[in-house]
Structure 1
Amino acid sequence: MNLQGIGGTVAYFGLFIAILYFLMIRPQQKQQKKRQEMLGKLEINDKVVTVGGLHGKLIKMDDDTIVLRIADKVEVKFDKKSIAYVASDN
């Protein structure tokens, strides 16, 4: 039995896991944290864009849902997590 070969294999496997963590898992966690912060900062009258590309003005909000006004007298209810980003006022 070659113990040195087993140790090398374990070292390569550990290195692979570390690289996987820093290239894939950690950036995803940062992005998810940033998104949660954005959703937590939503306020009434913010202009937002949904993941489907619908632009609207936030008029009502509770813990899980929001209501957007997308045109005069047209209001649509969405899950809060369907907000892609807050649009700029430009």
Structure 2
Amino acid sequence: MNFLVFLQTNAAPASTGGNWSFLIMMGLIFVVMYFFMIRPQQKKQKELAKFRNSLAKGDKVITMGGIYGVIVEVKEQYVLVEVDNNVKLRVDKGSIVKDSSDIQAAGK
């Protein structure tokens, strides 16, 4: 007698829930990515835009290039920054990164 016939079993039916679990997992990954990556970046961009729109004469600022200065004049697209005595630079508002008082406050 051949015992291999008894060891042979029927294959389990294919699971149909596999597609749904894959879609649920992909949805969860997207939700986690949104809350940990996309949403904080949008919040930072809003804060930076608010800061750039509130620039005023006399504010101490830092440019993207690392130049420290004081705002002398504010226009629609650019600001005039004094970096030394009688040395003024016209800088695009988009390249103003921070207020130097924020850095001084963080250092204390």
**Regions of 4+ moved over 6 Å:** none
RMSD: 1.7
Residue 21 of structure 1 aligns to a residue whose secondary structure is helix
CA distance in 1, matches of 2:88, 2:37: 38
Q: Where does the alignment leave 5 or more consecutive residues of structure 1 unmatched?
A: none
Displacement of 1:61 in angstroms is 1.4
Larger radius of gyration: 2
**CA deviation digits over 1:31-53, x for unaligned, max 9?**
10111111111111111111111
- List aligned pairs for 1:7-86, cutoff 5 A: 7-86=20-99
| Amino acid across the alignment from 2:69 | G
Overall identity of the aligned pairs, in %: 31
TM-score w.r.t. structure 1 length? 0.91
| Greater strand proportion | 1
State TM-score, norm by structure 2: 0.77
> Number of matched residues?
90
Q: Distance in 2 between matches of 1:17 and 1:63?
A: 38
